Amino acid sequence: MVTAGPPRPSGAPSARPHPVRPPAGGRGSRAGRPPSAARRAVPYLLIAPTVLALLAVLGYPLVDLVTLSFQDMTRRELFAGTAPPWAGLQQYRAIAADPFFWEVVGRTALFTVACGVVTMTAAMLVALLMRRVSPWVRATMAGVLVAVWAMPVMVAASVFRWLVDADHGVVNWLLGRLPGADFAKHNWFENPWQGFTVIVAVVVWGALPFAAITLQAALTQVPPELEEAARVDGARPSQVFRHITFPVIKPAFVMVTTLTAIWNFGVFNQIWLMRTGQPEKDYYLLGVYSFIESFAVNRYSSGAAIAVVTVLLLLVGAVVYVRQLVRMGEAE
């Protein structure tokens, strides 16, 4: 593969004739000679397209989002293309004074915690279970997890809507078999608590594979001798888990927890589809609320303010996640 062709002229801007180029690859290997300015520019040229794209389509909109939240943009300004009037902190003051906004924040937090607890508990149990089963059962479980992982969110939401359908849903039928339960024609979305149970079920069903597979991969890093030794020494299974197994997989656990929390906090699709594009106010979470304020009510600035608050709240999670990665030495 590595054909030693005739030495080619270098394509670099500073085409100094080098019959044989010094091996310049590893980070430490160039320590011997101070690199020329052109050589030093290479990595920056390489990351330039990525940086530019991120700045243009992500950085600019982020700034714009913040600006927008200090203005008062309505449909009129959007179509006329005129600059919306400056509103200062008015949007923020309005949402802060609105009890409904705080209700939505609380609901979003509760939803995130509920999804996180259920997902992580189930994923941990599944990952531990996968260590105990026979190889063919493990392969089956992995196959099922991957198939579910691959399901598009919209497909999952559609299927769950059909499963809990009031008239012919199989869930109602199954629950109706329970003694004393009457689930005939039961509408799950009439009561938001029950509706959110279904939504949490979809979210957990979709998130569980990623979490379980990652945790299972992390579990393979636990030295069996350590656990065996603890067991020989008389530690109970719960003690072995708490003091031997969990410390080893903790980085992975923290990472998966933060990631799922971040995803769930900004959840939109599942709710949007479960309520067929017209969520009732009881079903608003921050993502849905911001979207509806902007695109259904056409109060773009109010929607932007809600989005800014959402992003700020999410930053807390992001900091935890990035710190964890940095601590693991992955982001050096």
Please give the residues from 276 up to 315 whose contact with other proteins meets the rule CB under 8 A.
276-277, 287, 290-291, 294-295, 300, 303-304, 307-308, 310-311, 314-315
Q: Considering beta carbons, is residue 117 or 217 the nearer one to other proteins? A: 217
Binding residues for other proteins restricted to 159-218, rule: CB under 8 A? 159-163, 165, 167-168, 170, 173, 205, 208, 210, 213-214, 217-218
Out of 89, 96, 296, 328, name the contact with other proteins by CB under 8 A. 328
Contact between 332 and other proteins per CB under 8 A: yes
Contact between 110 and other proteins per CB under 8 A: no
| DSSP symbol at 86 | B
Long-range CB contacts for residues 160-169, cutoff 8 Å, separation at least 24: 160/198, 160/201, 160/202, 160/205, 160/274, 161/273, 161/274, 164/188, 164/198
* Cα 47 from chain centre: 25
Rounded Cα distance, 236 and 62, in Å: 51
- Span from 3-11, 86-94, 96-104, 106-114 in contact with other proteins (CB under 8 A): 3-11
Rounded Cα distance, 61 and 68, in Å: 10
Binding residues for other proteins restricted to 139-168, rule: CB under 8 A? 140-141, 144-156, 158-163, 165, 167-168
Distance between start and end Cα atoms, the chain: 32
Contact between 1 and other proteins per CB under 8 A: yes
Residue whose pair of structure tokens reads 């995803």 in the numeric block: 263
Out of 61, 85, 88, 223, name the contact with other proteins by CB under 8 A. 61
Name every residue whose Cβ is closer than 8 Å to that of residue 69 and which is 6 or more positions away in sequence: 91, 92, 301, 304, 305, 307, 308
Out of 265, 279, 283, 284, name the contact with other proteins by CB under 8 A. 265
Rounded Cα distance, 312 and 208, in Å: 26
Contact between 33 and other proteins per CB under 8 A: no
CB atoms within 10 A of CB 206: 22
Q: Considering beta carbons, is residue 196 or 198 the nearer one to other proteins? A: 198
Contact between 138 and other proteins per CB under 8 A: yes
Contact between 107 and other proteins per CB under 8 A: no
